[in-house]
Structure 1
């Protein structure tokens, strides 16, 4: 898992992108073994827990025997020939170094795994030394109840040597003071101390083991909660339904400082909620104010159509249904496409040629994973052939393959092992002149259905293929506002990797699910924004900092909007997908989840049947409320170097406080975008503040004892799904 610390010094040095384009050829097949050879480069000898993805890719190389010159553009096939596992890519194409790669998702059965890479004519090479380790589980605890500070035995089945483990008490790691190998392995663990409650009580704490990205099922432990005061770096989380709804904040001689986060915890619901602060209490209730209206832009209309289609359980297109199939596509081939041009009409049931535009595209790039077509009706002064090859190579070799590695493979309804990219001015025309936003590109679920499906009038406009639509340069503004060549080349990569993730998600949620349907809006879009980040990581690792920054920057712009008003955006919204700030929150929450469970949890969230909150709870084994509360603390506490604060309450990959800065009202030096309300113990006791919150949103307050010698007692009064998170930071 990546553990870099990134800063704005790297992220915001926006330079021109310069990538060398290759010929885009599918590459030679049936290679002469007297001339070429296939060899293993790296990736063997790895092991991992069942259900995880190996850390390093398996890499094979095709080169000429005479001099070892690498051969670019060769398709390498991957398959597991023995043992339990699945390659993340079934095919990949050699790069300029002659190398092709895949990762392996380890199966559920412990033991050896062998993976073969093969090329027609060259035979195969075998990676035969991969190992699946049994996933550990907690067999038992030595006690059923304990006091904070007690050392208990946690007995663990199948904890392999060398596997690092943590024991989590409701998400908080206990100190492992001793480990005795055996069957089971015995871990001596100190029970962490819950703190900050007003009076002694006891709570049922879920105890889990986390090891190399795998989290076990929980065993309950009853832990007494004494009325101990806060220490710096400690966090108290109170759920509205909990027994302990009172918090005691000592002033520590008037020097203590706290972060208070009031949590509206109405997950995947619409509406506003009200928080009332003051007079020693935090009260949350449903509000009379109506929720902000959902956006009704292009992507919202598109999702409405796709949701209706997905719920019908329609059949997937078959290869023979495709209007024009390519056995061996070559540059210059032409194909006709239907492109949606009036979503409002489609939503209204006016499904005819007036809602779709028929265009002819010419094939301009062929890659191992990609066919890139350019609409014949593009405006003048557009993309050069060099631009097209650069864009095609970027998508084919890096963006598409990153999507496949971290999320899975999309469908292949036309049986050509390729995704079609169509760049067309029809996409430009989808943006009304003078609009604040722009439709850069999209994918359309309709294209994956059989055009001949009865009872589906729109299906006759299906192209029967995986197609990613994108805009084109239009410097004279013929089809919408002017779009320059440089701007289009900067905009397309992020949308290409984002939309491809949606196609992958559809495979599992729509076509392979017992109950077909789209993912919840917040999770589906959050995963697609994570794809943008992972694409940036892949390019950063290749040394292409400029293009990496291009993929990173939009997420940070979105998260700046989110952090500036986090109480305005629902972290689990099910409608209103055009809201920029909400998307920033969805991405940051999933980035934080990946910090806890590893980046390959994104693959599980994409491929498993559950959706939204239920999916996150099933994949992590934690309650969504606790995840939400701890994330809310981390979004503020990151990079403050608070003594005693656990890493769970930070976002280790990114220096958020350095990257996400805004200009304060009234001028002055830039500050972190998240600025809580400032209150003292005295003002909190003597005043009443009312604020409206979106569902699943946090409201932040910094509480300063400010010389007050008296402790502050807080009572949570909740008439709706709600909670509190409190951090002492000084």
Structure 2
């Protein structure tokens, strides 16, 4: 029996109302798609099912249907979907204040070899394959021959899914023309499974880095901890904050002196538990516990070492020797005021102000260093923990249980220098920590803005999904690069521009090298990585950053408004991206995957702008990178040759792509066949042909 690949509905559940009548309120809504795919011109009727608060399922009544992608498939008021063009259409059903979505895969009609041979694609043309072309691509004879890339993209939201494809060719020959005539080595020879080091132009400052790379495992666990331990407190915290704003005399901070007995600093002076005064020299105590949001606080003593217009810098009084001076801390306060704050606020919105001091607290503490075990190749550069935005005290009238571990302040925790390796034997040179601090601040400030606005401005009931949240924070790092370098988005920055002055080269090395390093980890294994994976790997982060940059570049008008919309949504993940960009995230990701190969590849004027990266010339920029030994690095996109005999196998995760390169001989036809366990490529896999010569 043929195995069917059914798409699954995305169910959005809202809180039940009181019903207002005898019928139980609808608690959830789901959509069933009865076929795995729909050929162009065909129709299928979708059904919606509701589940009441007491668990009773029934056909949904009064359903309003809509398509987010009418160019791919339309839907009638009765739920009848009509396939219009190949792709993925996201269909939305709304009823009884509930919403559900489902993806409909449109496969296109059958195309014969004869029909294909009659119209060869032009050089630079990108063709979305349909029908039989997906499994048996027949290319016509061309006088001088032709060269092609066949892109297979797994348009599944489930990044845990795996699709095994086999590709073979008939009368294909090896490629000889640019770009990438020399194919990437086999996956086993790549560095894809190793942590990617930040890349530096001209080997500049590479000696500062050692072997350490950022540790994403800690942040994945932290973001998961926020959702598990704080999500149910969000609505109560918002109600408490609203009552605070309505009652000026009410304060969330403990009464003066309430914690003095337990708040002694090493000098013996009383320290406040929550409030951090904007007074240089003031002693404070802050909870640095990262294993629990609200329980078992671990307090550290700190001294206010610098005060800016938007930042209060606090240094842990037990930091290792050989660290930052007060002048260094003053510099970080100035960088936050003049670089980080204006850049992030203009793109993501104003931060919350739970302690009503119009500043963020930046705590440089060895507690961050302690998060990295001995002999680790990674490090934690800093973090933001959403618990610090929650009120400490419980409030029964607002059904809020409190969060005893909260510092009740906009707060970051930052890595400190440790040149002697006092903490777990891990040496952290001052120059290295200083070089990454401003970028980390920009990154973590986006998290703070995002979560604060979800809590207290947009009244969301969940935190953003990790992949999108981290991607936005890597965009924040890129914003600092633009501000420091003087270059702008959508200017196709190449290596010449990026290193045209020492200032621009240093700006890249400080604020963009890490993004390109993470992206390289993705490009060396695009089959096994995805821009929307839940694993929070460095490769995922690199892909997500580039995907968001690409998506914003495709829009018209002010890109800051695009990113602000993403950071100010009540929805999360796919639903957020769908709403902001007005279509299926999967189709957008497919076009992004095509651009990985097509952009700046010199394949002629027929290439549509939707398959380009307007902000960056990645092929040029990567040519300026060197490894730690000063050797130039090739463009890292992994490309697989369609063999002249036999076949090649690739496995695609959801959101993964493979690039199959082949050529046809002069005046000869060529055929490429792609198969899977169910015959041709299963419908979540979209096949795209690029002619390169």
Asked whether the two chains share a fold, i.e. TM above 0.5, the reply is: yes
Task: Work out the CA distance in 1 between the residues paired with 2:546 and 2:216.
Answer: 24
SS of the residue corresponding to residue 610 of structure 1 reads: coil
- 271-280 vs 416-425, which deviates more? 271-280
Residues 271 and 453 of structure 1, relative CA distance in 2, 3 Å threshold: farther
Distance (Å, rounded) in 2 between the aligned partners of 1:298 and 1:443: 12
Q: Quote the residue 1:485 is aligned against.
A: 430
CA distance in 1, matches of 2:301, 2:276: 19
Name the counterpart of 1:409. 350
Q: 1:696 Cα shift?
A: 0.8
Q: In the alignment, is residue 467 of structure 1 matched against residue 411 of structure 2?
A: yes
Correspondence 1:438 to 2:369:
no
Aligned partner of residue 363 in structure 2, secondary structure: strand
Of 255, 268, 274, the residue aligned with 2:145 is: 255
Structure 2 partner of 1:592: 550
135, 142, 154: which is aligned to 1:264? Answer: 154
The separation in 2 between residues aligned to 1:582 and 1:718, in whole angstroms, is: 24
Distance 1:548 1:670 in 2: 17
What is the aligned partner in structure 2 of residue 648 from structure 1? 610
TM-aligned CA distance change 1:623 to 1:699, over 3 Å: same
The answer to whether residue 279 in structure 2 is matched with residue 330 in structure 1 is yes
Match of 1:689 in 2: 648
Superimposed CA distance per residue, residues 669-701 of structure 1 (whole angstroms, 9 cap, x where no aligned partner): 642111311226xx2xx5232222222110111
Cross-structure match for 1:340: 289
- Structure 2 Cα separation of the partners of residues 462 and 429 of structure 1: 20
**Cα deviations by residue, 1:295-322 (Å, 9 ceiling, x for unpaired):** 9932222112101134214315757223
- The aligned residue for residue 224 of structure 2 is 304
Find the residue that maps to 2:512 and give its secondary structure.
helix
1:224-281 deviations in whole A, cap 9, x for unaligned?
A: 99853211111112479x998764433413611111111111114423321221268x
Name the structure 2 match of 1:658: 620
Q: Which has the higher contact order (CA 8 A, sep 6+)?
A: 2
Give the distance between the partners of 1:327 and 1:391, measured in 2 at CA.
17
Is the aligned partner of 1:425 residue 2:369?
Answer: no
Deviation at 1:534, TM superposition (A): 0.7
1:557 maps to which of 506, 513, 517: 517
- Whichever structure has more strand as a proportion of its residues is 1
Question: Structure 1: which 5+ residue stretches go unaligned?
Answer: 1-144, 146-167, 172-200, 208-221, 281-291
Secondary structure of residue in 1 paired with 2:554: helix
The CA RMSD measured in Å over matched residues stands at 3.6
Instruction: Find the counterpart in structure 2 of residue 375 from structure 1.
Output: 316
In 2, distance between residues paired with 1:256 and 1:169?
34
DSSP 3-state at the match of 1:561: helix
1 CA distance for matches of 2:143 and 2:616?
A: 35
How far has the Cα of 1:509 moved from its partner? 3.5
Check 1:468–1:401 CA distance in 2 against 1; reply closer, same or farther (3 A cut).
same
TM-score, length of structure 1 as denominator length: 0.62
The CA distance in 1 between the partners of 2:529 and 2:456, in whole Å, is 31
Task: Give, in angstroms, the shift of residue 653 of structure 1.
Answer: 1.8
Determine the structure 2 residue equivalent to 1:673: 636
Q: How far apart, in 2, do the equivalents of 1:519 and 1:450 lie?
A: 20
**How many Å apart are 1:707 and its aligned residue?**
4.1
Q: CA deviation at 1:370?
A: 0.9
Segments of structure 2 that go 5 or more residues without pairing to the other structure are 1-40, 42-68, 73-82, 90-107, 171-192, 194-214, 245-250, 255-271, 488-500
Mapped to 1, the partners of 2:474 and 2:587 lie a distance apart of 23
**For 1:277, which of 160, 167, 171 is the aligned residue?**
167
Spell out, residue by residue over 1:94-136, the C-alpha distance to the aligned partner (whole angstroms, 9 max, x if none). Answer: xxxxxxxxxxxxxxxxxxxxxxxxxxxxxxxxxxxxxxxxxxx
For residue 359 of structure 1, what is the aligned residue in structure 2? Answer: 300
**Contact 1:250–1:256 (Cα < 8 Å) also in 2:** no
- What residue number does 2:682 align with? 719
Candidates 576, 579, 585, aligned match of 1:618: 579
Number of equivalent positions = 494
Partner-residue secondary structure (3-state), 1:450: coil
User: Structure 2 vs 1, CA of residues 452 and 416 (structure 1 numbering), >3 Å: closer, same or farther?
Assistant: same
Asked if the contact 2:460/2:571 (under 8 Å) is kept, the reply is no
Provide closer, same or farther for how the CA distance between residues 714 and 610 of structure 1 changes in structure 2, counting only shifts above 3 A. Answer: farther
Q: Give, in angstroms, the shift of residue 383 of structure 1.
A: 0.6
Over 3 Å counting, the alpha-carbon distance change for 1:376 and 1:726 in structure 2 is: same
TM superposition shift of 1:663:
8.2
Deviates more, 1:587-596 or 1:542-551: 542-551
Q: 1-side partners of 2:281 and 2:141: how far apart? A: 75
2:465 and 2:134 mapped to 1: Cα distance?
A: 32
Q: In structure 2, what is the equivalent of residue 234 of structure 1?
A: 125
* Contact kept? 1:229, 1:248, Cα under 8 Å: no
Alignment of 1:147-162 (within 5 A): none
Query: 2:567 matched to 1:606?
Result: yes
Could you report, residue by residue, the CA deviation over 1:619-642 in whole angstroms, capped at 9, with x for unpaired residues?
A: 112322321121111111222221
Q: Secondary structure at the match of 2:527?
A: helix
Residues 203 and 224, structure 1, Cα contact 8 Å, conserved in 2? no
Question: Does structure 2 retain, via aligned residues, the 8 Å contact 1:452–1:459?
Answer: yes
1:713 shift after superposition? 5.8
Structure 2 counterpart of 1:384, from 325, 335, 343: 325
Comparing 645-654 with 243-252, greater Cα deviation is found at 243-252
**C-alpha distance in 2 between matches for 1:374 and 1:711:** 67
Separation in 1, partners of 2:666, 2:133 = 31
1:424, 1:663 → 2: CA distance?
33
Work out whether residues 363 and 373 of structure 1, in 8 Å CA contact, stay in contact via their aligned partners in 2.
yes
Structure 2 residue corresponding to 1:502, chosen from 447, 461, 486? 447
**Closer, same or farther: CA 251–388 of 1 in aligned 2, 3 Å:** farther
SS in 2 for 1:307: helix
More off after superposition, 492-501 vs 688-697: 688-697
SS in 2 for 1:336: strand
- Does 1:699 find its partner at 2:658? yes
Contact 1:203 1:223 in 2 (8 A): no
**1-structure distance, mates of 2:276, 2:324:** 27
**Could you say what secondary structure the match of 1:372 adopts?**
strand
Distance 1:427 1:637, change over 3 A: same
Native 8 Å contact 1:310 1:518 kept in 2: no
Partners of 1:296 and 1:405 lie apart in 2 by 27
Tell me which residue corresponds to 1:33: none
Contact 2:642/2:648 (CA < 8 Å) preserved in 1?
no
